[in-house]
Amino acid sequence: MAVTTVARTCVDLAGMVGMKTLRKTVGRAAMLRKLDLQAVDIAIHNAKRRRGLKVLELALIPYRTKDGNVPDVRSDFETLVLPELIEMGLPRPEVNVWLQLEGERFLIDFLWEAQRVIVETDGRETHETPTAFQDDRRRDQFFVASGYRAMRITWSQMQSERDAVLKRVSKALEAGPR
């Protein structure tokens, strides 16, 4: 396994930037399908005792799954939310999975199937149009009718009331299925 440029960049940045920037970099690499955890692990091993490696390991936690597949994050917003959910100690959600309900398929941002909880990240650029607004309400109707609890999180909420939003997600998960 060769060490990729992305892996080297992650290791190099780890010693120069803070957690926020490192998390953003790792998230962007995951979103672009360039995050190769094996290559990063080799780069970390080869970097022996360089500054920032422990911070890099922390930034990688949300992307380390039991099956070894990097979660399928598809937006900067999802790469902001996923680490926060994992850091809170919440169960790991399925990310961008298809859910079949009443003969229709829906791509779900974050799904906890056992608890029947769905979290959708609603950024202004894709959810503010009149059509998107209508589509989102229709989706929510399918979710509720099928016994799921759907929560929509906006970028603004994550900036202004992050802790409260994450606590609400946690409470929904604790409540379990209806």
CA distances from 141 to 52, 102, 127, 137, 148 (A): 46, 11, 16, 6, 10
Phi, psi of 110, rounded to the nearest 5 degrees: -135, 125
Domain ranges in the chain are: 5-63, 76-175
Supply the pLDDT for residue 134.
87
Give residues with Cβ within 8 angstroms of 136, minimum separation 6.
120, 122, 127, 152
Give the CATH superfamily of 76-175: VSR Endonuclease (3.40.960.10)
Supply the pLDDT for residue 82.
95
Supply the pLDDT for residue 127.
54
pLDDT per residue as tens, the chain (178 positions): 567 899 999 999 999 999 999 999 999 999 999 999 999 999 999 998 899 999 999 999 999 999 999 999 999 889 999 999 999 999 999 999 999 999 999 999 999 999 999 999 986 665 567 787 888 899 999 999 999 999 999 988 988 999 999 999 999 999 877 7
Give residues with Cβ within 8 angstroms of 165, minimum separation 6.
153, 157, 158
CA distances from 93 to 7, 86, 121 (A): 25, 9, 13
Supply the pLDDT for residue 49.
84
